[in-house]
Amino acid sequence: PRPAAAVNRGAAAAAVAGSRNASSRSSVGARRGVQAQAVVSPPNSVSPTTMKAPANLHGFELTREEYIAEYDAKVFMFTHVKTGAEVMSLSNDDENKCFGVTFRTPPENSYGIPHILEHSVLCGSRKYPIKEPFVELIKGSLNTFLNAMTYPDKTTYPVASCNLQDFRNLVDVYLDAVFHPKCMTNENTFLQEGWHYELDAPDAEMTFKGVVFNEMKGVYSSPDSVLARECQQALFPDTTYGVDSGGDPRVIPELGFQEFKDFHGKFYHPSNSRMFFYGDDDVEERLKVLDGFLGEFERKQVDSSIAAQPFFTEPKRVVASYASGEGEESQKSFVQVNWLLTDNGPFDAETALAVGFLDNLLLGSPAAPLRMALEESGLGEAMVGYGLEDEMFQPTFAIGLKGVEKKDIPAVEKLIFDTIEQIATDGFTQAAIDSSVNTIEFSMRENNTGRFPRGLSLMLRSLSTWLYEMDPIEPLRYEQPLAHLKQRMATEDVFRPLLKRLLLDNQHRVIVELHPDKALGKKEEDDEKARISAFRASLSAAQVEKVVEDTEELKRLQETPDSPEMLACVPTLAIADIPRAVKTIPSDLSSLGATTLLTHDLFTNDILYAEHLLDLHAVPMELMPLVPLWCRAMQRMGTAKKSFVDFDQSMGATTGGFGLSPFASSIRGSDDVAAYLVLRGKSTAGQAGQLHELMAEMMLEAKLDDREVFKQLVLESRSGAESGVQSGGHSVAAGRLGAMDSAAGYVNELMGGLAQLEYLKVLAKRVETDWDGVVVDLERIRSAVVARANSVTNLTADAKTMDASMTAVNSFLSALPAVGAGAATAPWSPSELVLPPRNELITVPTQVNYVGKGANLYKAGYELHGSSYVVNKMLSTTWLWDRVRVSGGAYGGFSDFESHSGYFTYLSYRDPNLLKTLGNYDGTVDYLAGLTLGPDELTKAIIGTMGDLDSYQLPDSKGYTSLMRHLLKVTDVERQQRREEVLGTTLKDFKAFGEALEATRAPTANVCAVVSPEAAAAAVKERPDLNFTVINVM
């Protein structure tokens, strides 16, 4: 999981979705649907304000109860009398029920024990003694969240569901997994998830394999991840944070099974646990379920305390290297300044809130002074560090640049310190403070966590103090601390003394330099091979044979499915529990002059969510790669009326924010492409006028002529795209394959794929040699696309808010020109707007591969049937999971069927294999041909698919989903048909889809993979028949 905080981490954050410090179990890459809500349980009949604790506490004692007005929730804190396990129980009317069990798990080394355990405990337990109950839950549950995450000092196991019985099933499986895992007696799980020697024959090459081992090789292939690790370990040399809880692939093979077991025995005990419930389920039932597990344990002293890092007496410097490519553009350095902010634990509530505001003031928007100074300095390509991090025992602050010339590192450091000193002298303007206050306050009150359940965001926020023996309720309150802070800000200078104390006068500071090393990747590979060779040389012939036998036995176990009788132990719902009727979203279609208007009457707590879509077809195709940069430039150079800083602060002070981005998708059964420029914003009902005035000002009067700002935007975008190829190669591969198939795929590739990266490289030079021509092109895009013709407006709010906003919406639309000047008129040809179909290997410095293969099933004759959703989901949790991940050692292996275009894609993630994975993809057809499915397995597959279709959504997402259905011509009648087809799926449908998948192993199917140069060379040599084109990117 990655952070999705609307403003920042910490007390000022309104939403948290995971952590930038967490490694996760991950699911299979199957994408959640964007449809209606799942089955719900009856809401609590008692108001949280009057709710009382249950009479029967089932072995717990009530230690505290409070009402939290901010979330209309009653909190009970319980302690299990026998074991000391702590429970935080939040009750409100949210149907999206959440549970999490968290253990404090500080490691002493970088063997990755917490991470390997997090994977392994979900591989079978006492009550569920099958290979992977976790995967069975993915297959057959209505979960709205299912994962596990390893942090530097804790491991947490969260689940969520809107269906009460499903929720109880998830909780039961997870509790049994953490307290009674099979991996304590089954060493093969440790070998599979952690590491093992793999040898297929006595004369074959011996290698290291393991899911976590390969996952962390992928992490260590990313320079940004290397930087983050070096910085954390340099700040905390004397504590548990000085090692890598995720595991360093150079030392993971030093971990033995006994040490792995001992770690679980020590830390995975109720006395070291913190358990969290949230939602509208019954409190007494929560306690009863927990006592059923905890009752068999005795209280135990567990020393899992996190030691404080003593403050340094003087700053330090660390110089390290990362594996770089051969290209000249790859030879750039990173520099980051890091501070430890406290000497003994988290901030108190008010300080935390103030530091959150300070973080936002320094870095929270492009106009924030520290961020602006770095981004507009011309000294680097993009910012790193990102400011405040407060999810560990002691909070930190970090900021720097990447893409820096080595000679410019001192200048970057000087700029950071000079800027902070200047701010400490001058303070922040009142406009900046007003903007920050409104931005943070809006975000807190909106509490929009996106697809991440609200309850789990509160759990993670509580753990920021609870984990360290502090008040878990305090981080959830913001009204009183916010009111007090605003009072202080009106009468005293809050931020300058804080800035001086935390940053300027703070000697616990580390500057980390990270430099490119073209030889490092080969050296690390050679070191690994030498280590394996030394081990092999120490073996007798009989011992070598034993390694071969162990390899065969592990693969046999991995590839042998559980019997239907064994799988029946995992609880699941019945088809009868699923509503037959599709859930609809309130939607009204009308017109407002030349604009199509969609409105959705939903309760949004007085917030208006507005999307204004302009026709992207109007942009000439030769300018399409420039559109993403144009979107960014429109928001970064100010307007005819306001400077960039004034405009940004006006937006922050009076709205919930707005942004501009392109969108393109195929439409099933049509050569048309839905392609729009999306202007998306939000505000309170009272701010709708300001929101739309600022939108109009930006669209019509934004300046586009600041060369230095634009140059920086190009460099930032290029840097981000390069990082994306290294760390998200599966997305790059999928984009290339889609671009070989459809006009929508081609346009998306131009705007966001490898083609965009290549365009950015050329554009960076063009900015220097032909700036006037670039400005002309930017203005041509605006003239063409900013127009009323073929526009669509989508509004989501309750009727009262909508009515109050319509004057502002009308005013905005009326300000737009009727048609664009110089707009393109030629239709997008599906035969011309595609990349030439071929097999591609994209090379970057990496220790792992991302392997894609695909074909268009519609072009091969397949007609869409709802059962395809079921088959696709099941492939990702059976054949591909078992062969690509479990047996193959990749971190992920999955498939994706894009029902609008008909394109079917296989993808792998952080994969040690290339050709072997392609072989597994091709084996899918035979797997489906020979598949037998009992009634229970079929039911599970159908229910899991329904969980995707009926995923939980907040109001803004519902409105946007309805908009997408309108654009892509998906009617509720068709949705009902697909739902019936999903619910009626039979084994015959699996066989039929298997026949359609013949297209994916036909000669017309295409391969695209992101790999190392060495892996590409080996594949070209071994499979000349695939006629690979090798593209060197970095």
Q: Which residues are catalytic?
A: 118, 193
Please give the C-alpha separations between residue 122 and each of 62, 158, 636, in angstroms, as whole numbers: 31, 12, 47
Q: Which residue bears the tokens 């088959």?
A: 871
Token representation of residue 894 = 């999955």
Give the C-alpha separation, 146 to 156, whole Å.
Answer: 11
How far apart CA 158 and CA 162 sit, in angstroms, is 14
Q: What is the H or E stretch that residue 1011 is in?
A: strand 1006-1011
The answer to whether the CB of 396 falls within 8 A of the CB of 340 is yes
Q: How far apart are CA 80 and CA 27, in angstroms?
A: 32
Q: For residue 495, which amino acid is it?
A: F
What whole-number distance in Å separates Cα of residue 684 and Cα of residue 283?
Answer: 35
Scan for tokens 């992977």, then name that residue.
Answer: 132
Hey, which residues does 280 pair with through a beta bridge? none
Element (H, E) at 745: helix 743-752
**Cα–chain center distance at 986:** 34
Say how far apart CA 253 and CA 248 lie, in whole Å: 9
DSSP 92: -
Is the Cα torsion angle 534, 539, 540, 542 positive or negative in sign?
negative
Quick check: 785 and 677 in contact, CB under 8 A? yes
**Looking up tokens 């073209």, which residue turns up?**
518
Contact residues for 188 (Cβ-Cβ < 8 A; gap 6+) = 554, 557
- d(CA 1020, CA 1026) in angstroms, rounded, equals 8
Q: Is the Cβ–Cβ distance between 207 and 201 less than 8 Å?
A: no
Closest CA to 88 of 309, 233, 250, 274: 274
SS3 178: helix
Q: How far apart are CA 319 and CA 348, in angstroms?
A: 34
Strands 316-323 and 509-517: parallel
Cα 81 off chain centre by: 38
Which positions ≥6 away from 636 have C-beta within 8 Å? 366, 644, 706, 709, 713
Type of residue numbered 685: A
Helices (H), 644-687: 644-654
- Cβ burial, residue 976 (10 Å; 0-12/13-18/19+): middle
User: With the C-alpha atoms ordered 794, 630, 616, 700, is the resulting torsion angle positive or negative?
Assistant: positive
- List the structure tokens of 908: 């792998």
- The candidate with the shortest Cα–Cα distance to 895, out of 940, 930, 938, 925, is 925
Nearest Cα to Cα of residue 170 among 935, 943, 949, 873? 943
Across-strand partners of 827?
none
Residue type, 294: L
Compute CA distances 373 → 378, 380, 415, 709, 994, whole Å: 9, 11, 8, 11, 56
Closest CA to 931 of 985, 852, 855: 985
Q: Cβ atoms within 10 A of the Cβ of 257, count?
A: 15
The C-alpha atoms of residue 651 and residue 646 are separated, in whole angstroms, by: 9
